[in-house]
């Protein structure tokens, strides 16, 4: 059975990594990808990719355990409640700081910078100011005009 709000990621994009739920960036995107994985409509996206793992590492939540919660048909709000209960305890300030840092992440090493710039020129040629991985994903998925 397809959960409500399940996206067909072969036809549309998951939510932006910049979107947050309960202060956690990436979480809405993780939910979208997991629901789509379970529905068989994930396309080329990957659940528990390196970006997702940053969220799971920060919260100390197991990706398979999270997937079980999604498979139970929980809403975004119910999944947020699960994250709050199961997560390593973080203050609201720590969550906001983590989310801020995630939004600022860009390439650090020389080979990453060259790869990033190649992708930026492809997906955001009119936006030379794009300097973060989140910005690059938003450009690739058509959220920048």
- Residue 34 and residue 71: Cα distance in Å, rounded? 9
8 shares its domain with 59: yes
69 shares its domain with 140: no
Q: Would you say how long the chain is, in residues?
A: 145
79 shares its domain with 119: no
Mean pLDDT, the chain, integer: 94
Mean pLDDT calculated for residue range 33-53: 96
Mean pLDDT calculated for residue range 51-75: 97
72 shares its domain with 10: yes
Q: Residue 60: its pLDDT value, please?
A: 96
19 shares its domain with 82: yes
Check pLDDT > 60 for residue 82. yes
Q: Residue 3: its pLDDT value, please?
A: 61
59 shares its domain with 91: yes
Check pLDDT > 80 for residue 4. no
- The domain of 117 spans 106-145
Q: Is 130 exposed, middle or buried (0-12, 13-18, 19+ CB in 10 A)?
A: buried
pTM of the model: 0.92
Residue 116 · residue 136 · CB < 8 Å: yes
12 shares its domain with 54: yes
Q: Residue 1: its pLDDT value, please?
A: 46
């Amino acid at each position: 059975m397809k959960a409500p709000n399940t996206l067909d990621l072969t036809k549309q994009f998951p939510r932006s990594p910049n979107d947050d739920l309960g202060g956690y960036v990436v979480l809405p995107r993780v939910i979208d990808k997991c629901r789509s994985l379970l529905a068989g409509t994930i396309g080329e996206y990957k659940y528990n990719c390196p970006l997702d793992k940053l969220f799971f590492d920060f919260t100390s939540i197991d990706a398979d355990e999270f997937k079980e919660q999604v498979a139970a048909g929980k809403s975004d709000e119910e999944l947020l409640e699960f994250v709050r209960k199961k997560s390593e305890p973080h203050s609201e300030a720590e969550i906001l700081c983590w989310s801020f840092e995630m939004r600022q992440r860009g390439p650090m090493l020389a080979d990453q910078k060259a790869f990033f710039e190649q992708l930026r020129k492809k997906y955001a040629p009119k936006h030379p100011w794009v300097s973060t991985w989140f910005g690059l994903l938003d450009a690739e998925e058509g959220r920048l005009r």
